[in-house]
């Protein structure tokens, strides 16, 4: 569903999906000469390496300043705080339908365009 919304709202953009956080980190490390992603949308509970762990892993790389947003089913403040502390640009509850997801992606795009995607990663 995420790829469909991104394709609709950002036609012509290259969209890459990964099965887990480890695969994402390994891909970025293996392709340092490729243009860095303009945006990352991560699942809080990705297998093998969750969203905050991915952000922590990327802190010391040139990918540290890529806007990264977390989608999560968790309503726990400590989970949100963990993501923001790891450098997430934003944290959103996972939507239950296409319309809600589209609204979230539009908000992410608005924040990125406004420069409000501040990352705490260095």
pLDDT in tens, 66-122: 999 999 999 999 999 999 999 999 999 999 999 999 999 999 999 998 875 555 544
Supply the pLDDT for residue 60.
Answer: 85
Tokens at 79, concatenated: 């989970």
Calculate the average pLDDT of the chain: 91
| CA 116/CA 107 separation, integer angstroms | 11
pTM of the model: 0.88
Contact 35, 87 (CB under 8 A): no
Summarised one tens digit per residue, pLDDT across range 8-62 is: 999 999 999 999 999 999 999 998 778 888 899 999 999 999 999 999 999 888 8
3-state secondary structure of 40: strand
Can you give the length of the chain in residues? Answer: 122
The phi, psi pair for 89, rounded to 5°, reads -80, -20
For position 3, what pLDDT does the model report?
Answer: 92
């Amino acid at each position: 569903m995420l790829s469909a919304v991104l394709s609709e709202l950002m036609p012509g953009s290259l969209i890459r999906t990964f099965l887990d956080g480890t695969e994402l980190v390994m891909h970025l490390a293996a392709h340092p000469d490729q243009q860095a992603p303009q945006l990352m949308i991560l699942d809080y509970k990705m297998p093998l390496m969750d969203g905050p762990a991915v952000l922590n892993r990327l802190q010391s790389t040139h990918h540290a300043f890529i806007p990264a947003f977390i989608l999560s089913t968790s309503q726990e403040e400590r989970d949100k705080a963990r993501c923001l502390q790891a450098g997430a640009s934003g944290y959103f509850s996972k939507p239950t339908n296409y319309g809600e997801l589209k609204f979230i992606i539009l908000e992410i795009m608005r924040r990125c365009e406004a420069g409000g995607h501040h990352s705490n990663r260095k």
